[in-house]
């Protein structure tokens, strides 16, 4: 077999773990149980490139519907970079999403290449990291309107819809019920005013999505979500929050909690930026699929 025998196909379900493992090696810190949620989003949207049956490249191209898709998990094994394999699997992903407005969160070193493929910058996302204890959370507690509650499925589906360009109820449901996650909402006079999920990752915990009508509600959700973890572990917890930079309340909140910047991406689209409530988005769900 020769070098050119490079095959690109949709992943089998168990092969998505390859993409997640490679993402962990790249320092992207995926969740421990993300694979099932990603399969639900689009079973055909994860592509793998095999050279002589060896997996050497992966990418996700989630086609939510005929109008919108999202690219992530774009990784080539280090020893095969610079040989054209990444570009070939990239082309396959773009072809699969042809006709869609395509979004992605681009790492700094790839943003120039994405522009060559028709992507334009919308805004930056910034990953913050911090360490929390029960005592620290108690010291920084805030007063807010409403009550922290377990999630009501019907209410949360309706609440979440405006925060993403198209419907993805099945993914959202699986994201909050995965075995390593907790989901909470804040309800004020029977109206949902905030919602968040925390899940265990390769390192620590990620909070996302985190949606709230104002700063105090977002802070109360962070306290409650982290409180679930610190109560269970009874030790300091490392947590991450991926904030959209245009929401300056989100940036201020992360920094006021003593969190520091550790990573950034550029949210980019091939067509117009979707009209989403960024001012109420304090944490995005996933850099990998939006």
Omega before residue 209 within 30° of 0, cis: yes
Mean pLDDT across the chain: 93
Q: Which two tokens stand for residue 277?
A: 């409530």
Q: pLDDT for 26-81, tens place per residue?
A: 989 999 899 899 989 999 999 999 999 999 999 999 999 999 999 999 999 999 99
pLDDT in tens, 206-250: 999 999 999 999 999 999 999 999 888 888 999 999 999 999 999
User: What is the domain partition of the chain in residue ranges?
Assistant: 6-123, 125-283
Closest C-alpha among 261, 242, 267 to residue 111:
267
The whole-angstrom separation of Cα 138 and Cα 65 is 44
pLDDT tens-place string over residues 106-137: 988 888 899 999 999 999 999 999 999 877 77
Query: Is the Cα torsion angle 125, 193, 31, 235 positive or negative in sign?
Result: positive
Q: Does domain 125-283 have CATH number 2.60.120.10?
A: no
Structure token digits, residue 192: 């949902």
Q: Are strands 147-150 and 68-76 parallel, antiparallel or unpaired?
A: unpaired
> Would 6-123 and 125-283 be classified into the same CATH topology?
yes
pLDDT tens for 167-196 read 999 999 999 999 999 999 999 999 999 999
What number does CATH give the domain 6-123? Answer: 3.40.630.30
């Amino acid at each position: 077999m020769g070098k050119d025998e490079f095959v690109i196909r949709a992943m089998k379900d168990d092969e998505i773990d390859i993409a997640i493992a490679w993402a962990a090696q790249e320092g992207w810190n995926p969740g421990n149980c993300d694979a099932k949620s990603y399969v639900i989003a689009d079973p055909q949207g994860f592509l793998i490139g095999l050279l002589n049956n060896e997996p050497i490249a992966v990418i996700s191209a989630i086609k939510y519907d005929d109008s919108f898709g999202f690219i992530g998990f774009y990784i080539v094994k280090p020893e095969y970079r610079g040989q054209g394999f990444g570009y070939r699997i990239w082309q396959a992903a773009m072809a699969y999403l042809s006709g869609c407005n395509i979004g992605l969160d681009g790492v700094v070193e790839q943003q120039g290449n994405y522009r060559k493929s028709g992507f334009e910058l919308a805004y930056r996302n910034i990953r913050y990291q911090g360490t929390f204890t029960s005592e620290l959370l108690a010291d920084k507690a805030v007063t807010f309107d409403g009550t922290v509650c377990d999630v009501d499925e019907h209410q949360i589906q309706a609440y979440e819809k405006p925060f993403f360009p198209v419907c993805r109820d099945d993914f959202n449901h699986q994201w909050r019920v995965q075995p390593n996650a907790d989901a909470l909402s804040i309800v004020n006079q029977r109206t949902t005013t905030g919602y968040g999920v925390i899940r265990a990752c390769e390192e620590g915990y990620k909070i996302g999505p985190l949606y709230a009508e104002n700063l105090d509600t977002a802070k109360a959700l962070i306290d409650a979500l982290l409180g679930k973890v610190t109560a269970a572990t009874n030790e300091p917890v490392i947590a991450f929050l991926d904030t959209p930079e245009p929401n300056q309340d989100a940036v201020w909140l992360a920094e006021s909690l003593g969190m520091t910047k550790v990573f950034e991406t550029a949210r980019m689209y091939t067509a117009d930026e979707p009209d989403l409530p960024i001012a109420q988005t304090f944490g995005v769900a996933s850099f990998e699929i939006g």
